Structure 1
Amino acid sequence: MLEVTLREYGPAVSVPLSSEVGRALAASGILQSATPDPVRDGHWLLRAGSRVGAVRTPGGPVVRVMPKTSVRRLFFLLGFSLDPARAWRDSREGTVDTGAYDDVVPALAHAVERQIDAALRQGVLQGYREVEESALVVRGRLRESEQIRRHFGRTPPVEIAYDAYTVDTAENRILRAAADRLLRLPGVPGLVRRRLAHQRVRLADALPLVRGQELPRWQPSRLNSRYQPALRLAEAVLRGASPEHRPAGSGPLAVDGFLLDMNKLFEDFVTVALREALREHGLTARLQDRHHLDTAGLVGMRPDLVVRTGDGRIPLAVVDAKYKVEKADGLLNADLYQALAYATVLGLREAHLVYAAGRQPERFHEVHGTTAGPDGRGVRLYQHSLDLSREPDQLLLALRQIAGRLAGATHDRDHEIPVR
């Protein structure tokens, strides 16, 4: 099978594709662009955007998108977003074991299999699950309405409901579904594939999930504490990171694979880390807080993070995370306008933008024409940057410093660097 390797936001690559497969990739939205090559007949130009991982189409190539940052760092960001309490403690090593793999899919498959193995080391977890069924004997509670509707005036079967102590729990179903999903992905190494198949056998008594349905719900508890790291990673595979794309009008042709959106991953990491760090200052933070730009409530806006007082009543600061590099001559205008809109609606004197890379540790724009506050200055829009190549503990330290700036606790105005 043809394999194509692209780089995240890298140059376009000319690939021999049928029109059907090319159109499917173009309509799926998984690449930044897929267009016919004007120079070479029967070829398409494929260019990756922010999604990294691997996808395939029936009759088409396996398309791998390599991330700009290292796979190990990528999975640190993912692990922290999923389980910040544990990640704070283990920031130097990270919380997701990716083995020696430097490709997203092999690293993910290895990580999930290791987490499932650790979860099942003390045996498969059992629990109570409510069962509703028709039976020849009464067990548990009689479902009177169903009994009358289905069997009025007849002898057994009877409609009953009872709690069964079983391994067919939400937790085991999720782990089995993640193993099933990974076994269908392209590029899973043979050794990891065999280990995943072994874990699926251990979870064979848990019913498979039906595609398209919501994942079963589970509640963290002392009993399932050993399952929780595996469950969070498995849910990331099943919920947000492994889409199946079937473009409209494509018939039976589907684009299937595993993809991580680096925009969303960076946003999640920054906002979760800031939320946790702000707690040290006695402040709360709301993620994706809903507001409106206009008084009629017709134009919605959702800043990535709004810092509030400990009781959550008063907004103090607003943050938006941007997975892109700011230009050498300043921020992108659209980002500035967005940050100013957030500050205006929330009645704040400043707004903050956090970028995935940049030239300065902190800079600000003072907005022309804004009313001066008690300190004699107008509204300021701050830019912070994170170098994702830095070690995890250094990244977390940088975010703690930003949190201190948001709380007004660690900022020295003599060191502010304005952008003129």
Structure 2
Amino acid sequence: MTSGRSKTEFLITESKWHDLNLSDEDSNALKTLKDKWRTAKVSRYSGAQTEADEDIGSAVIDVRSLRNGVTQVKVFDAIGAIDLPGAVIIVHPKIPIAHFNYIAAKALSLPRVYKGDFGLQQGSNFLELVCAWAIDSVETILRDGLVRDYKELRAPLQTVRGRVHVTNTFVNISRGNLALDCSFEDYSVDTPLNRVLKHSLEFIVTNPAVSALLKKRAKRCAKQFSAVGTLRPQDLRAVPQRNSKHYADAIHFANQVVMKRGIELGVGSAKARSFLYKTPLLIEEGIRRIIESGLAPVNVVKPKRMNLLSSTGKSVSANPDIGISKNPLLVGDVKYKVQTKDWRRSDLAQSVFFAVAYESPKSLIIDFENEESKPNGDLQVSQILVSALGWDASKSANPEDSAKKLVRGVKAWLGNASLKFVPESASS
């Protein structure tokens, strides 16, 4: 815990309970956020839900008040910041930040304009990285100037411009108003793409989890958007055109910033805001892309969801994270969990279920290992061979080395299948 000039800062880890000394106002604000964040469960292994499923699936934040005035807080599978009236809670990933940032960067695609050494940023929180990439991309655009486009305007003017609305102009003159009611096209920087960029910069400036240096850069950029209006809902659907192709990276990362803006609500005269990224899907996508790159040209995909119907018409779906090759399709699943010493029976059962549903002779579970983990290895379940591989997330491990180690493990898992890979030296 650190104290700032006006707010106290707490550092916590996702998916763990933490005891925080919050004021009554902050505790109540956090409970309000908890209710606002509650969402419907989206399951990849649907069917009967356990209490644990409901707890993790439907809640993002859980809060408990203890008798001694301490507030217990747990954030489920999400990182970012929670800005309360008198405190800021920074939520870190459950694996070392260097490893999380490396995998997440693969999921989001590092911007082509970024020339820095990723390793220099490994101590930064992920939200700060996304914001930094967004600012890098915007600064590149500003060197050449903002793209302009024509927009239809209607306004009272002193001289004729465009098309004059005769009836309204006559009414104005009869009332002593000499303004001409005109419709005209204006070549303006107030375009959907520029509004998205401006909105993302404003978000960065007001975000408590972003460093003062980044906020300063964002403010400097935002000054050049003074003629750009406020964001409209339809702006988020805008895509770069021929004259704005160089906006692609900036819009990609600006959308990442804007879409994770979180929930903002009034709490008395103050504000409580949360800026949280759900982490499992981000990790799954990053791991899949790392494996896809390492196994090239072998086909690595996200398999289509398979729906199975019971005799009573109830649907059960199977949706593994990874599918390798085609005949047969070999399935795997990514678990954003740190492996301890035993098989997790629920994950094992799910892995077998996926293999049976997709008629795969083997299935793979990928999770994370630290200094205390003990590998589970292979387990034969009837006709299905289930194998567990871990991403080495120990503090001393280098993320790039962990990625290469994982790819080697997947290749070994594939065994004698008739698959050909690009040599490691050629793919790097």
TM-score scaled by structure 2?
A: 0.71
| Cα distance in 2 for residues equivalent to 1:79 and 1:120 | 24
| Cα distance in 2 for residues equivalent to 1:170 and 1:406 | 47
Unaligned runs of 5+ in 2: 1-6, 39-58, 172-179, 421-428
Task: Read off the aligned partner of 2:207 and give its amino acid letter.
Answer: L
Partner of residue 206, structure 2: 184
From 326, 332, 339, the counterpart of 2:339: 326
Q: Does 1:202 align with 2:202?
A: no
Partner of residue 349, structure 2: 337
Q: Alpha-carbon deviations, 1:290-338, whole Å to 9, x = none?
A: 21132657223322233353xxxx66122211111233122x1111121
Shift of 1:348: 1.4
1:34-113 matched pairs, under 5 angstroms = 34-38=63-67, 40=68, 42-58=69-85, 60-83=86-109, 93-94=117-118, 98=121, 102-104=124-126, 106-113=128-135
Shift of 1:356: 2.1
User: Quick one: structure 1 residues 44 and 367, their matched pair in 2 at CA, closer, same or farther if it must change by over 3 Å?
Assistant: same
| Cα distance in 2 for residues equivalent to 1:73 and 1:170 | 35
Secondary structure at 2:31 match in 1 = helix
Secondary structure at 1:348 match in 2 = coil
**Conserved? CA contact 1:77–1:266, under 8 Å:** yes
| Cα distance in 1 for residues equivalent to 2:274 and 2:384 | 45
**Conserved? CA contact 1:17–1:43, under 8 Å:** no
Task: Read off the aligned partner of 2:361 and give its amino acid letter.
Answer: R
Unaligned runs of 5+ in 1: 141-146, 369-377, 412-420
Partner of residue 380, structure 2: 366
| Cα distance in 1 for residues equivalent to 2:292 and 2:240 | 22
1:145-184 matched pairs, under 5 angstroms = 166-184=188-206
1:121-270 matched pairs, under 5 angstroms = 121=143, 123-126=144-147, 128=149, 131-132=151-152, 134=154, 166-210=188-232, 215-219=236-240, 224-225=245-246, 227-239=247-259, 241-244=260-263, 246=265, 255-270=272-287
Secondary structure at 1:231 match in 2 = helix
Q: Alpha-carbon deviations, 1:164-203, whole Å to 9, x = none?
A: 7643344333222111111111143333322211111123
Q: Does 1:4 align with 2:10?
A: yes
**Conserved? CA contact 1:24–1:254, under 8 Å:** no
Partner of residue 307, structure 2: 292
| Cα distance in 2 for residues equivalent to 1:57 and 1:178 | 21
| Cα distance in 1 for residues equivalent to 2:96 and 2:347 | 27
Q: Does 1:379 align with 2:395?
A: no
User: Quick one: structure 1 residues 158 and 380, their matched pair in 2 at CA, closer, same or farther if it must change by over 3 Å?
Assistant: farther
Shift of 1:101: 5.7
Partner of residue 398, structure 1: 405
Shift of 1:84: 6.6
Q: Alpha-carbon deviations, 1:186-224, whole Å to 9, x = none?
A: 1433333222111111233333214x6661331486952
| Cα distance in 2 for residues equivalent to 1:84 and 1:187 | 21
| Cα distance in 1 for residues equivalent to 2:270 and 2:306 | 40
| Cα distance in 1 for residues equivalent to 2:271 and 2:31 | 11
Shift of 1:387: 1.6
Q: Alpha-carbon deviations, 1:127-161, whole Å to 9, x = none?
A: 546x4555798979xxxxxx9xxx9xx9x97889x
Q: Percent identity?
A: 19
Q: Alpha-carbon deviations, 1:331-353, whole Å to 9, x = none?
A: x1111121122112212112211
User: Quick one: structure 1 residues 361 and 223, their matched pair in 2 at CA, closer, same or farther if it must change by over 3 Å?
Assistant: farther
| Cα distance in 1 for residues equivalent to 2:359 and 2:107 | 29
**Conserved? CA contact 2:198–2:222, under 8 Å:** yes
TM-score scaled by structure 1?
A: 0.72
| Cα distance in 1 for residues equivalent to 2:364 and 2:153 | 56
Shift of 1:244: 1.2
**Conserved? CA contact 1:353–1:383, under 8 Å:** yes
**Conserved? CA contact 1:270–1:399, under 8 Å:** no
Partner of residue 350, structure 1: 362
Secondary structure at 1:215 match in 2 = helix
| Cα distance in 2 for residues equivalent to 1:134 and 1:246 | 35
Alpha carbon RMSD of aligned pairs, Å?
4.1
Task: Read off the aligned partner of 2:73 and give its amino acid letter.
Answer: L
**Conserved? CA contact 2:364–2:389, under 8 Å:** yes
Partner of residue 144, structure 1: none
